[in-house]
Chain A
């Protein structure tokens, strides 16, 4: 009897190991991630407005139908990336995703930025250079350090009413994104 219990206990322990290995390796083995889902979009160094979410249609990125989304993919190997523009007077927020689909930085317009979106994204080496050269950083520029060179930026903008959506999306699409030319 004791032998059977020990065997079963061994099975449970092995199950625990399988569980831990599964949880830890799942992100590494996944073939379809948020990154691959946005990879097909033409959003390199430009602000792409994502199509609105309509009832009855697939929504793999799980977007909120009330919001307008602008997505821009940048590569810091080309130099630091900048986002610059003026957004309409409504709630907006910004999230920076790494290739693993994890938000490494996020902020909202309530953090004292108001309507102006001025963000500079630097990798570790570029941040060090920035500090060494003691350059004057323009007032209002938000400096974000990123651990990875590949990333995409998602700006969420909330038009207060559906009638304002087209105008809000037009203003969002005018946000400049990418290395400074």
Chain B
């Protein structure tokens, strides 16, 4: 009886560890193939011709048309800089700088990657359409509430993710110091 109990216990641990770790590795992925800058996560190996096994599985799960290594890099944030999940009931402020790139775009998507821009507005915010401070820093407001300067107007409710796609970028390439920086995400008012 004791043997069977131990065996079952050990199998439960094995299944929990095996599948739990796999799920974690392919969703969060921080300790495995993903790189993190503040709240932003990217899979730097995603565009490589021979990605590591974790990135390969991650790509399979997404089944998307990812960017090649020389084309650019995509960063996703599902939480703000304090670690709280992004929610459409709240407004957010992005402050900081983007890595060197030809241009970048910012979009908000839900879990199924459906674009959440408000009807009648631009589906994405593009770097060439952004007003900057004198020192080149950007400030972008994201949310449903009317905001000044750069505003990515959203519609809907529930959790969402922000996606920054850098085209032709030097981010995470080890080129230059202080280049691997992305804006912080600060939560403002919640409705």
Contacts and interface: CB of A to CB of B under 8 A. Distances in A.
A22 to B, nearest CB: 4
A24 interface: yes
A95 B10 contact: no
| Most B-side CB within 10 Å, residue of A3, A30, A69, A101 | A101
A60 interface: yes
A140 interface: no
Number of chain A interface residues as a range: 35 or more
Given A7-B6, A56-B115, A103 B66 contact: yes
Given A14-B14, A23-B54, A91 B19 contact: no
B9 interface: yes
B105 A66 contact: yes
A170 interface: no
B68 interface: yes
Given A65-B123, A105-B68, A11 B118 contact: no
A158 to B, nearest CB: 7
Q: Is the interface of B mostly helix, strand, loop or mixed?
A: mixed
Interface stretch (B84-92, B106-114, B134-142): B106-114
Contact of A18 (B18, B54, B62): B18
A106 B71 contact: yes
A59 B121 CA distance: 18
Given A15-B13, A93-B70, 15 more contacts: A11-B9, A11-B12, A15-B21, A23-B26, A33-B63, A34-B65, A56-B116, A100-B56, A101-B60, A102-B49, A103-B48, A106-B70, A110-B102, A154-B65, A158-B167
Interface of B: 6-7, 9-19, 21-22, 25-26, 47-51, 53-54, 56-57, 59-72, 102-103, 105, 107, 109, 112-119, 121-124, 126, 128, 155, 165, 167-168
